[in-house]
Amino acid sequence: MIQRIFRSPKTYFFLIAALVILLALSQVVQIHIPARSRGSIEDLASLRERKVNVVFVLVDTLRADRLSTYGYERLTSRYLTDAASVGILFRHNLSQSSWTKSSMASIWTATYPNLNGVTRFSDGLPEELKLPAEIFKDAGYRTVGLYRNGWVAPNFGFSQGFDQYQNPIASWTPEKIEKRTISSYKLSGSDQSVTESAIEFLNDAGKDKPFFLYLHYMDVHQYVFDDTSDFGVTFSDYYDNSISWVDKNIGMFLYELDKRGLSKNTVVVFAADHGEAFMEHGTEGHARNLYHEVTETPFVIALPFRLKESLVIDEWVQNVDIWPTILDMLGLPSIPGAQGKSLLPLIYATARGETPPAEFLNRPGFAYLDRTWGSDRAKPDPLIATTYDEHRLIVPMCFHGRTELYDIAKDRGEKQNLARRASRLRENLTERLIGFFALPDTGFAATKNEVDTLMRGQLLALGYVLDDHERAKMRGPDGEDPRGCEKPSLPALDHAATEPEDSEDIIEPDVLKFYTK
Ligand SMILES: [Zn+2]
């Protein structure tokens, strides 16, 4: 009988089938075994006792309201949502500029653009600064940055503190359209090369010392995606496709982090430098104004343990708070001269169901954009915005254009300008701006950097940098750039009072239009 069983081919077939099922099951079990244990917010304190790894995932050009994580009706960000569902999600976060270099300088220095001075084409971060990567390095971390945006290249000072800071070699160039085709320069490859390099890094990471890894994704900026994303064929749909594609890259990275058992000892921070406009206010792209579509960005923290459910913070926070918060969470020294705040007290209060400390209630947020970032020679033409008490005031600091005031709770699209009608409200927000300009000086000055031909070409590929033709269009008959002023200032705040009554609904012409279609 037994011999017959062994001789039967059926037996071997069943044995092999059982083995295959077991193997498959082990894979499934492996995926579903949580690498991170359940924890509570009180466990945050333990992060100060041990050296945890930090990953900073920065998705260029990602506006919060296009993420399913933030309530968007399309499923664009399921992996980020997974991470947020057991981590901390800041529902209302502001970026400090709508232009990459200014915004990134604000994130890394935890200071505002007009105060740190990194606002224009050739500006860079000076050596004397102590940036987060340097703080990590001093604390014994291995520090690696992977970026694909030329504005955060080493020659602008962004590589300070990184053991390795690389633009990964393009491994794959997708066939899908790239919107910014204004020159013969193209940004080659895709974010897949960032993900692949990051995963390769994980193979021997975290063994002898903790690591800090910065991943700067660019495909949302470039409208690049693979053929599994199919929300439609308009630019806006392509934008959603590219979010879904980059989210998949994030999912792949997080899976590999988990698989290596690293996620239980790693904090992962997700953020963006600015959003993207789709003609909501007469322009496309970014770096032209400071409305919600370009300044409201995501901010999510995944912890080395899983919270029972997402901790959602409703108070307004800002990108300048990111590093003060993370460094505080890990018990590392803060950034000297930081103007952002550690959000830890806000996180604890929210988790415990307590009223947040007063300093986080109705806290004004600020954004700044020198609209001449694309030119070395143009006069400054800054816009400044404050978000306060469910309102947003946007002020041109030279004497042209109009002051705008919106009720962003009721008028999410920022369509109805209340600047003339609501004078008390305008004065109230103006006071925030005056207070903002009274903040102590950061004590450092931006460096002025040479931009060589190769670098200029890379920036052209991003759709930045105006070519001669575009510049000529901006100049008046006398060859002078008609915009900007020698000394931008706050007196322009009174400008709203002198505007003609019917100016409210005029949308400014898109003088800086730099996309050719
Ligand atoms: Zn950017």
Using one digit for the tens of pLDDT, what is the confidence trace for 25-61?
544 444 444 578 999 999 999 999 999 999 999 999 9
For 41-48, which contacts have Cβ atoms below 8 Å and span 24 or more sequence positions? 41/307, 41/311, 41/347, 41/348, 41/351, 41/352, 43/303, 43/305, 44/303, 44/329, 44/344, 44/347, 44/348, 47/267, 47/303, 47/304, 47/329, 47/330, 47/331, 48/329, 48/330, 48/331
SS (H, E, C) 380-413: CCEEEEEEECCEEEEEECCCCCCCEEEECCCCCC
| Bridge partners (DSSP) listed for residue 92 | 316
The CA 249 to ligand 1 mean position distance, Å, reads 18
The CA 196 to ligand 1 mean position distance, Å, reads 21
Which pLDDT value is given to residue 271?
98
Instruction: Return the minimum-mean-pLDDT range out of 132-136, 209-213, 422-426.
Output: 422-426
- Coil, strand, or helix at residue 308? coil
Q: Is it the case that residue 183 has pLDDT exceeding 50?
A: no
- Name the one residue in this structure whose structure tokens are 């085709």: 181
The CA 195 to ligand 1 mean position distance, Å, reads 18
The CA 348 to ligand 1 mean position distance, Å, reads 31
- Sorting pLDDT into bands at 50, 70 and 90, what band is 516? very low
Entry pTM: 0.86
The CA 272 to ligand 1 mean position distance, Å, reads 8
Q: Is it the case that residue 105 has pLDDT exceeding 70?
A: yes
Each residue of 260-283: pLDDT tens digit? 999 999 999 999 999 999 999 998
Which pLDDT value is given to residue 424?
87
Each residue of 438-466: pLDDT tens digit? 777 777 778 887 776 666 666 666 655 55
Which pLDDT value is given to residue 158?
97
Q: Is it the case that residue 111 has pLDDT exceeding 90?
A: yes
Task: List the Cα angle 294/296/302 in 5-degree steps.
Answer: 130
The CA 499 to ligand 1 mean position distance, Å, reads 33
Higher pLDDT, 401 or 423: 423
Which pLDDT value is given to residue 488?
81
Which pLDDT value is given to residue 399?
67
Q: Is it the case that residue 495 has pLDDT exceeding 90?
A: no
The CA 99 to ligand 1 mean position distance, Å, reads 6
Which pLDDT value is given to residue 408?
96
Domain ranges of the chain: 36-362, 371-438+466-503
Q: Is it the case that residue 128 has pLDDT exceeding 60?
A: yes
Read off the pLDDT of each residue in 121-141 and give the average, rounded to a whole number.
95
Higher pLDDT, 13 or 194: 194
Q: Is it the case that residue 475 has pLDDT exceeding 70?
A: no
Q: Does domain 36-362 correspond to CATH entry 3.40.720.10?
A: yes
Each residue of 310-332: pLDDT tens digit? 999 999 999 999 999 999 999 99
Read off the pLDDT of each residue in 76-90 and give the average, rounded to a whole number.
97
Read off the pLDDT of each residue in 369-378 and give the average, rounded to a whole number.
80
The CA 326 to ligand 1 mean position distance, Å, reads 22
Contact status, residue 463 vs residue 285, Cβ threshold 8 Å: yes
Read off the pLDDT of each residue in 223-250 and give the average, rounded to a whole number.
91
Higher pLDDT, 384 or 484: 384
Which pLDDT value is given to residue 188?
78
